[in-house]
């Protein structure tokens, strides 16, 4: 129930204005968001690299209001890749297709994404196309597949809670696509997604095995010790080396576990979000972390 409420509130402009104006909420958001500007994200990536962690930078923003905004986002991401290269960071980029104008047409959006992928490829880097709500899944898979025909510098995300995910993985693997597997953070109806956590977990393990057996370098995105243990056990039992895949976690969540996996010899990538449009992302993280909800509730209405 709490998760549904918080995800619903992530779409409320009134709630967004309230949270953005509250100093405590802004301070709390820094646990999950590196900052509002690119230098903040670069500093977080640099710190992660120093700890032996790879990084993936994501400029927060979804569903741009105009084609001009989408073009501006394209140019911004091209600039991010330049800064990563200039600073010698072990980091790639994650982005959402609605930020590149997917609501204005697949062809237009694909043109923006292709320009970014080409630039990343020229710099020896990689673009991850994030998966959004289920209304965008089909289009995201198709755009990824078509971009992958021209470059291996692009991959996407598959969400284990969707019924369709196994078929999407089969299609993407045929194209040689690198995939990040996660459980899924959006509120989806039972018609398209497993409603029970145990079923999502079971599907995650099933899809993890398909991915690791493919021989393609994938990312296992989870903070769940049970999912991590299942991945470690399957890889060991099937002779899959620790450098043939990577674990991925969100910035600010289970930092102890991130460092432990690195000490154990696994590759770990931290997903580092930044930008001024942090409210929807922040609310989704609260929905996943009840302890943070309680902390915010205790302090949100205190006087400054």
C-alpha torsion sign, points 224, 228, 234, 240? positive
Catalytic residue among 58, 110, 128, 130: 130
* CB-based contact 93:82 (threshold 8 Å): no
Q: Among 42, 105, 48, 111, which residue's Cα sits nearest to residue 79?
A: 42
Catalytic residue among 180, 269, 285, 289: 180
Is 146 considered catalytic here?
A: no
Give the H or E element holding residue 169: helix 165-174
Cα distance between residue 48 and residue 160, in whole Å: 27
Is 180 considered catalytic here?
A: yes
Exposed, middle or buried by CB within 10 Å (0-12, 13-18, 19+), for 275?
A: buried
Q: Among 108, 200, 121, 105, which residue's Cα sits nearest to residue 158?
A: 200
CA dihedral 46, 144, 206, 204 (to 10 degrees): 50
Exposed, middle or buried by CB within 10 Å (0-12, 13-18, 19+), for 295?
A: middle
C-alpha torsion sign, points 272, 277, 281, 282? positive
**DSSP for 284-297?**
HHHHH-HHHHHHHH
How many of the other CB atoms lie within 10 Å of CB of 82? 12
Cα distance between residue 195 and residue 191, in whole Å: 9
How far lies 128's CA from each of 92, 181, 221, 294, in Å? Answer: 8, 12, 13, 33
Active site residues: 130, 180
């Amino acid at each position: 129930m709490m998760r549904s409420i918080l995800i619903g509130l992530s779409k409320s402009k009134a709630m967004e204005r309230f949270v953005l104006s509250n100093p405590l909420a802004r301070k709390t958001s820094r646990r999950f968001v590196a900052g509002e500007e690119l230098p903040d994200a670069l500093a977080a990536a640099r710190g992660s690299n120093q700890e032996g962690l790879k990084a993936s930078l994501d400029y927060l923003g979804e569903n741009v209001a105009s084609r001009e905004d989408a073009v501006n986002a394209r140019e911004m991401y091209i600039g991010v890749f330049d800064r990563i290269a200039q600073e010698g960071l072990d980091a790639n980029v994650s982005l959402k297709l609605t930020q590149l104008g997917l609501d204005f047409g697949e062809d237009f959006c694909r043109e923006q994404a292709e320009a970014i992928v080409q630039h990343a490829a020229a710099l020896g880097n990689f673009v991850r196309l994030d998966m959004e709500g289920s209304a965008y899944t089909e289009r995201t898979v198709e755009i990824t597949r078509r971009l992958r025909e021209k470059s291996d510098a692009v991959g996407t995300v598959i969400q284990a809670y969707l019924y369709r995910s196994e078929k999407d993985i089969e299609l993407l693997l045929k194209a040689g696509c690198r995939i990040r597997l996660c459980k899924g953070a959006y509120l989806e109806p039972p018609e398209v997604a497993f409603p029970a956590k145990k079923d999502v977990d079971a599907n995650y393990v099933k899809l993890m095995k398909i991915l690791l057996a493919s021989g393609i370098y994938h990312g296992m995105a989870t903070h769940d010790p049970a999912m991590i243990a299942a991945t470690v056990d399957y890889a060991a039992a099937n002779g899959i080396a620790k450098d043939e895949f990577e674990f991925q976690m969100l910035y600010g969540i289970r930092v102890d576990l991130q460092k432990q996996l690195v000490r154990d010899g696994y590759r770990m990538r931290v997903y580092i979000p930044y930008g001024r449009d942090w409210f929807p992302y922040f609310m989704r993280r609260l929905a996943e972390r009840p302890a943070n909800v309680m902390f915010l509730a205790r302090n949100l209405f205190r006087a400054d």
